[in-house]
């Protein structure tokens, strides 16, 4: 009887694999026809057809994409719910994650062009020896001629790199081994992300010892699509944060925890929000003087490692310009609607609102950190929940240029939240992609995607939360 039940439950896995293959199929057909993904025509379209003059075709593409993505998400929830009956051991789970990851690797990135700037700016350093913090790809084209196809793919030719120096190094190494071939470069970046994704799954198991959490991260459709198909570098941030948590919780090494958190920061700067929480948890059993002393040593370690990486690129403080470039863009955030309403009428009022929001967040963050510094006892799940709340505020309130893949930032520390909060993160991971794709059929990328996007995201999350609480009971045994 039990064997029959296990076989019946495995239908979810078979359907998940089948639906993933259908998701991949248009990319396979495109590659067979064109032999290359270089300058493919079809951004924001699932079927890789030019839909710029046919609105109905655009709607069909969107519906096809979201139908498959929704199916994957539903199956993902059921696989989590029935994972004990479906999988005999973690080896079977890892095999499925590897298979699915390889399938997603075959998808041509078609809802984001960030990978193009990774490759182009990496090639700028690898081939031309230029510093991506001071020289743009546009300037390199003027200096070296317009015939380099790799430099020409950069959608942000007039911007220096906005990421930390560790990511600049990774891009340079991967682009170097592409030998100037776009398809090889894209494959190398995708393979790197697949390897990191699998490593993250292993780390999650080592930290939590729960197969369900491995599935929660490893088969999440948003992570698979944005990290592997669209090749976003956020997955490297997840890797270094997980490494930091592993050394903090399992190896009891504050030095390596700080070192890996610093590496996460040197890819995307938001990870600095986590650093005080890691340090304060590690010194929780010390008196206040020892805590302060340890904090000072950790600051020295952080600055030393950061400077070590920045020395490869540092000429002056222009190297930090990327910290502010992203915050000057307005997309899919509550600030976008304010930008359109206020800037033409009252630029100063808009600036005041931004500054007040930032200062309020900074004051609250400092207040939380100081309270933790003075707190005598703390459990890890308590401190991480405070951090997660701050990260949510930062991601959805403070950022002016929000993108669906930023939701990946919530996953390295999601495992210590309350059960309902974990479900909320899962639902947001679906709603973020749904809002991005669904709203695109009504507005162009440059249109007012602020408040409508947030309404769709929150509305979808709310509906899923109501439906999920009544119909789909997952995350059994998780701390309430």
Q: SS3 letters for 64-117? A: HHHHHHHHHHHHHHHHHHCHHHHCCCHHHHHHHHHHHHHHHHCCCCCCCCHHHH
Tens-digit pLDDT profile for residues 323-336: 777 777 877 888 87
Q: Is the pLDDT of residue 415 over 90?
A: yes
Rg of the chain's alpha carbons, rounded to an integer?
Answer: 23
What integer pLDDT is reported at residue 442 of this predicted model? 63
Q: Is the pLDDT of residue 131 over 70?
A: yes
Average pLDDT for residues 16-23, to the nearest whole number?
Answer: 97
Q: Is the pLDDT of residue 449 over 60?
A: no
Greater confidence (229 vs 338) lies with 229
- pLDDT class for 55, splitting at 50, 70, 90? low
Task: Please choose, from the candidates 77, 72, 76, 173, the residue with its C-alpha nearest in 3D space to the C-alpha of residue 118.
Answer: 173
Q: Is the pLDDT of residue 320 over 80?
A: no
Average pLDDT for residues 386-396, to the nearest whole number?
Answer: 96
Residue 452 domain-assigned (yes or no): yes
Write the DSSP string, 107-148.
Answer: SPP-S--HHHHHHHHHHHHHTT---TTT--HHHHHHHH-S--
Residue 239 domain-assigned (yes or no): yes
Residue 478 domain-assigned (yes or no): no
Summary mean pLDDT of the chain? 89
Q: Is the pLDDT of residue 67 over 90?
A: yes
CB count, 10 Å around CB of 357?
Answer: 17
What integer pLDDT is reported at residue 441 of this predicted model? 66
Q: Is the pLDDT of residue 398 over 70?
A: yes
What integer pLDDT is reported at residue 128 of this predicted model? 96
Residue 476 domain-assigned (yes or no): no
Poorest-pLDDT segment among 263-267, 392-396, 465-469: 465-469
Contact 395, 446 (CB under 8 A): no
Tens-digit pLDDT profile for residues 339-374: 877 876 777 888 899 899 999 999 999 999 999 999
Residue 218 domain-assigned (yes or no): yes
What integer pLDDT is reported at residue 63 of this predicted model? 86
Contact 433, 404 (CB under 8 A): yes
- Total domains in the chain come to 1
Tens-digit pLDDT profile for residues 273-315: 999 999 999 999 999 999 999 999 999 999 999 999 999 998 8
Helices then strands, counting H and E runs in the chain, come out as: 22, 0
Poorest-pLDDT segment among 68-82, 106-120, 440-454: 440-454
What integer pLDDT is reported at residue 423 of this predicted model? 93
Expressed as residue numbers, the domain containing 374 is: 2-471
Average pLDDT for residues 384-389, to the nearest whole number?
Answer: 97
Contact 223, 189 (CB under 8 A): no
Q: Is the pLDDT of residue 1 over 50?
A: no
Residue 480 domain-assigned (yes or no): no
Average pLDDT for residues 443-461, to the nearest whole number?
Answer: 72
Q: What is the DSSP letter of 328?
A: G
370 to 122, 144, 276, 386: CA distances (angstroms): 40, 52, 10, 13
Q: Is the pLDDT of residue 43 over 80?
A: no
Residue 477 domain-assigned (yes or no): no
Residue 164 domain-assigned (yes or no): yes
- pLDDT class for 446, splitting at 50, 70, 90? very low
């Amino acid at each position: 009887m039990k064997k029959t039940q296990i076989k019946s439950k495995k239908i979810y896995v078979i359907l998940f694999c089948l639906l993933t293959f259908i998701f991949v199929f248009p990319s396979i057909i495109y590659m067979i026809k064109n032999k290359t993904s270089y300058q493919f025509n079809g951004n924001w379209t699932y079927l890789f057809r030019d839909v710029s003059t046919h609105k109905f075709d655009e709607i069909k593409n969107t519906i096809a994409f979201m139908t498959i993505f929704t199916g994957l998400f539903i199956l993902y929830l059921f696989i989590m719910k029935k994972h004990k009956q479906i999988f005999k051991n973690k080896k079977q789970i890892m095999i499925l994650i590897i298979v699915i990851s390889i399938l997603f690797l075959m998808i041509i990135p078609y809802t984001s062009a960030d990978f193009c700037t990774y490759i182009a700016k990496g090639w700028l350093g690898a081939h031309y020896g230029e510093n991506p913090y001071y020289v743009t790809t546009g300037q390199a084209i003027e200096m070296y001629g317009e015939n380099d196809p790799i430099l020409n793919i950069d959608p942000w030719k007039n911007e220096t790199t906005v990421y930390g120096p560790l990511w600049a190094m990774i891009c340079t190494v991967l682009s170097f081994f592409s030998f100037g071939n776009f398809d090889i470069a894209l494959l190398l970046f995708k393979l790197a992300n697949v390897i990191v994704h699998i490593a993250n799954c292993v780390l999650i198991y080592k930290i939590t010892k729960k197969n369900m959490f491995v599935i929660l991260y490893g088969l999440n459709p948003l992570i698979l699509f944005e990290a592997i198909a669209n090749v976003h570098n956020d997955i490297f941030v997840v890797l270094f944060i997980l490494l930091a948590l592993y050394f903090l919780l399992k190896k009891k090494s504050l030095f390596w925890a700080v070192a890996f958190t610093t590496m996460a920061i040197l890819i995307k700067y938001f990870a600095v929000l986590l650093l005080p929480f890691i340090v304060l948890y590690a010194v929780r059993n010390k008196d206040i003087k020892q805590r302060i002393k340890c904090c000072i040593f950790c600051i020295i370690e952080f600055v030393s490692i950061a400077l070590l990486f920045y020395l490869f690129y540092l000429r002056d403080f222009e190297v930090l310009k990327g910290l502010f470039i992203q915050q000057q863009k307005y997309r899919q955030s509550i600030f976008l609607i304010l930008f359109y309403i206020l800037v033409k009428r009252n630029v100063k009022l808009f600036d005041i609102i931004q500054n007040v929001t930032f200062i309020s967040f900074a004051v609250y963050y400092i207040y939380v950190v100081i309270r933790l510094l003075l707190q005598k006892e703390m459990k890890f799940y308590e401190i991480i929940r405070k951090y997660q709340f701050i990260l949510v505020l930062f991601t959805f309130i403070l950022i002016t240029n929000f993108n669906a893949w930023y939701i990946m930032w919530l996953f390295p520390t999601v495992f210590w939240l309350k059960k309902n909060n974990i479900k909320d993160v899962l639902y947001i991971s679906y709603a973020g992609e749904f809002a991005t794709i669904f709203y695109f059929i009504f507005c162009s990328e440059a249109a007012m995607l602020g408040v409508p996007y947030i309404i769709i995201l929150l509305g979808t999350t709310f509906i899923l939360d109501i439906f999920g609480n009544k119909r789909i009971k997952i995350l059994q045994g998780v701390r309430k």
